[in-house]
Chains A and B, each alone.
Chain A
Amino acid sequence: MMLEIKNLHATVGGKAILKGLDLTIEAGEIHAIMGPNGAGKSTLGNVISGREGYEVTQGEVLFNGNNLLELEPEERACEGIFLAFQYPVEIPGVNNTYFLRAALNAQRKYRGEPELDSMQFLKLVREKLEILHISDDLLRRSVNEGFSGGEKKRNEIFQMAVLEPSLAILDETDSGLDIDALRLVARGVNRLRSEDRAMIVITHYQRLLDHIVPDRVHVLADGKIVASGDADLALKLEEQGYAWLDRGGIQSLDIDLKA
């Protein structure tokens, strides 16, 4: 088992957000997480990647059998966890390429692999840029500074493509993308799909899942996974929204739930 989350409770600023969340993911799988705004989806991503201020009060998170919660954010990254931010951060004055090479080399060093010099790194980067149709110009700029919404999201996927994580969490990477950008993002994600990688795709829309077909779809509401199913569940959710949550639960929905 790659990721095992058991009875996870977490608070932010003293407020309980995750309230007993269970989730298990095997290597090679893609899981989609859907759910209403404010349900705790981004909180889950932040807790898994170790953001300060997100306090786990109960439960456990195991990554490849090891306790993830005792690791620093950079150790988690080096262990292979990647979060594509819902709101990527602008960092004026820090060069995109410099930053990414430093990050990749920090991870390689952690794994006992030789660091890449700037020539080797550039070669690697060129290939990935090709896939995402990102112009060289983006590399010369400061991290996300002055990027359009779509450029920021593509930059997240570009970083993912370079860092090649074993577990990637994409937090609403599709929001605000036009259809072409969405296709490119999906292409970047699908290229990375492999037997020893897993992904959590947080989204509101079916359209990304048309391109990245998930193995499992979960509904996160009020800090818990309230329903899980296969790819069809996402279609139903898109049609019917989340009103059923108040109406008496998932059973009121005309779907076939597979445990």
Chain B
Amino acid sequence: MSALAQQWSESLRSATHPQVLPWLDALRLRAVEQLTKHGLPHRKDEDWKYTPLRVLEQLGPAVATGVRVENLTPAPEPELPAALIDSADCVIRIHDGALAGTEGGDQPGVSVLSLSEGLEQHESLLRKHIESVDINGSAQAFASLNTASLDQGLVIHVKEQADAGTVLLRWTLSGTADPSIHNFRVFLLLGEGSRMQLVEQYESADHGGSALNVVSHFDLAREAVVDHLLLQNESENTILMSSTYIEQAQGSRYNYSGFDLGGGLVRHELKTVMAGSGAHAAFGGAFVLDNSRHVDNHISVEHAGTACSSDQFFRGVLGGRSRGVFNGKALIRPGADKSSVRQSNANLLLSPLAQIDTKPELEIYADEVEASHGATVGQLDETAIFYLRSRGLSETEAKRLLVGAFCRSVTDRLENQELAGRIAELIDQAMPSYESRGQVL
């Protein structure tokens, strides 16, 4: 494992990058050094305890450099699974960790830029975000790797009071004989009072065991509102590491809903800092897994301003030998009085070999805080299954209905009815095999 980090470092040391900026060159080098020195996360890293990284060994020694795209030009559509939403105002494709085309995104006050263009127009803001990411230590290896190879990215800038509408990011990976790890960086810069609905779809037509390491930054100025929906429906040999850093000013609202229905090894790290008062952050999601899939949701919410509210709400359904992790942290800093914080994670285990590790953590150092948290692990209700079967539904259908109902508490939270319906359908299709009385049905 540490050999892989050394090989990656080696391949990055000799890389050249299209953007020539002294501070960025220096930072990339420092990140390579960190990666060399500390290697990849291991079991002793508390934050990685439940997510072993052995499957990374399927990856080649080189970090993919992608296709260098300096200017965004529409590329012909390759064969893709159906888009999650048809009515997007802007569709951006990112293939093998490189921009592969955009459509739309030309509303007033909205600019969709490549990383190079973004650095020309918003250098100081991007620099602030890039430098704010912790790249020290093995637990931060994927942030180091992303920074060390930083030259592919997307920047969406939304001016104050502008509405970017719905932006769809379609992430795909191709099948290659020599699978490697691809890196990409996203910046979403939302001016005061601006709005955006971001929909991310991670779903490839077919591919062969490659990996994607994405780091995203959300900068929400005062009163900005972001609805962020993520669907990950990849094949079982796909590795996805995603880290999302959110900075929220006064009165801003960030609303995440993540649905993981596929993938091999998937990790979502989402961190928000609510520095301004009266901000709101919601993290909802469902993971419905079978086979040997592994999905890890690491959420961290920091209340720094007063009267902020946060809500974490995850539902897990685990069949086969799959494994799910929910680690939700909420930190209420001194002075962040009148905060409200909720955490809820409920899970259904459909198979004796499936596993869930759930760990809600709450640290409160302020006054007048309203807090609730809970985590449960259970099984499908046998009485309910019999009731449904006694009316003529097969055991599989009965189970499908019950799992759908269990996850509906998450899809019901979506404001967009079209998306809620589509996601519910996908959850139905993702239904894991169910073991009862020793048989797999």
Contacts and interface: CB of A to CB of B under 8 A. Distances in A.
Interface of A: 49-52, 72-74, 76-78, 82-83, 85, 88-89, 91-94, 99-100, 102-104, 106-107, 110, 142-143, 159, 163
B271 interface: no
Interface residues of B, number: 23
A74 B405 contact: no
Contact of A89 (B383, B392, B394, B397): B383
Given A51-B386, A73-B386, A89-B383, A78 B392 contact: yes
Contacts of A89: 381, 383-384, 387
A92 B405 contact: yes
A150 B378 CA distance: 30
Interface string B371-389: 0000000000111101111
Contact of A52 (B382, B391, B392): B382
B26 interface: no
A33 to B, nearest CB: 18
A104 B388 CA distance: 11
A77 B382 contact: no
Contacts of B390: 49-51, 73-74, 76-77, 82-83, 85
Interface in B380-416: 381-384, 386-395, 397, 401-402, 404-406, 408-409
Contacts of A142: 405
Contacts of B405: 91-94, 142
Given A91-B388, A99-B388, A74 B406 contact: no
Contacts of B384: 89, 91
Contacts of B393: 74, 99, 102-103, 106
B392 A107 contact: yes
Given A82-B390, A89-B387, A102-B393, 20 more contacts: A50-B389, A52-B382, A72-B389, A72-B395, A73-B390, A74-B389, A77-B390, A83-B390, A85-B390, A89-B381, A89-B383, A93-B408, A94-B401, A99-B391, A99-B401, A102-B397, A102-B401, A103-B393, A143-B387, A163-B391
Contacts, number: 76
Interface string B418-441: 000000000000000000010000
Interface of B: 381-384, 386-395, 397, 401-402, 404-406, 408-409, 437
19 contacts: A74-B389, A74-B390, A74-B394, A77-B390, A77-B391, A82-B390, A85-B390, A89-B383, A91-B384, A91-B401, A91-B402, A93-B405, A93-B408, A94-B405, A102-B393, A102-B397, A103-B388, A107-B392, A110-B392
A103 B389 CA distance: 8
Contacts of B382: 52
Output the residue of B386, B395, B437 with the most chain A CB within 10 A: B386
Contacts of B437: 52
Contacts of A110: 392
A77 B404 contact: no
A104 B401 CA distance: 15
A74 B392 contact: yes
Contacts of B401: 91, 94, 99, 102
Contacts of A51: 386, 390
A94 B392 contact: no
B406 A159 contact: no
B192 to A, nearest CB: 39
Contacts of A100: 391
Contacts of B402: 91, 94
A157 B321 CA distance: 41
B220 to A, nearest CB: 33
